Amino acid sequence: MPDYEFVPFVLTNHAKERMQLRDITSHMIAEALANPHSTQEAREGDTKYIRFFNRRELHVIAFYKANQKKWIIKSTWIRGENDSLFLDLYQSFTRWLGRLFKS
């Protein structure tokens, strides 16, 4: 059984939104964490994990939360691919509605 199935992680809301916009799966994130092609230091003590999937360059920003023994995924994207404008506008609109009705 592959190692990526044993990589525990939690997605922030931002990461979940980015995954939806960018057609990124949880499997891809787990594979990037378990078997990255490269890593880079990122801001705030985070690490950027880079992994290629069919010529798509996946980037995952994460940090390991030792006391919970799991990764926190802050963001993810595919280098060179733009988000769907429609989905981005839709999510902005739904966030605006959420703020409107909280007031």
The residues near 32 (Cβ < 8 Å, ≥ 6 apart) are 49, 50, 51, 58, 60
Q: What is the pTM of this model?
A: 0.72
> What proportion of the chain, given as a percentage, has pLDDT over 70?
84
pLDDT score, position 85:
59
Checking if the pLDDT of 24 tops 80, the result is: yes
For residue 24, report the phi and psi dihedrals to the nearest 5 degrees.
-110, 135
Checking if the pLDDT of 21 tops 90, the result is: no
Give the domain range for residue 19.
3-102
For residues 57 and 99, what is the distance between their CA atoms, to the nearest angstrom? 34
Total domain count, the chain: 1
Q: pLDDT, tens digit, for every residue of 50-67?
A: 999 988 899 999 999 999
- C-beta contacts of 52-59 below 8 A and 24+ residues apart: 53/28, 56/81, 58/24, 58/28, 58/29, 58/32
CATH number at residue 85: 3.30.2310
pLDDT score, position 102:
77
For residues 57 and 90, what is the distance between their CA atoms, to the nearest angstrom? 26
> What proportion of the chain, given as a percentage, has pLDDT over 90?
52
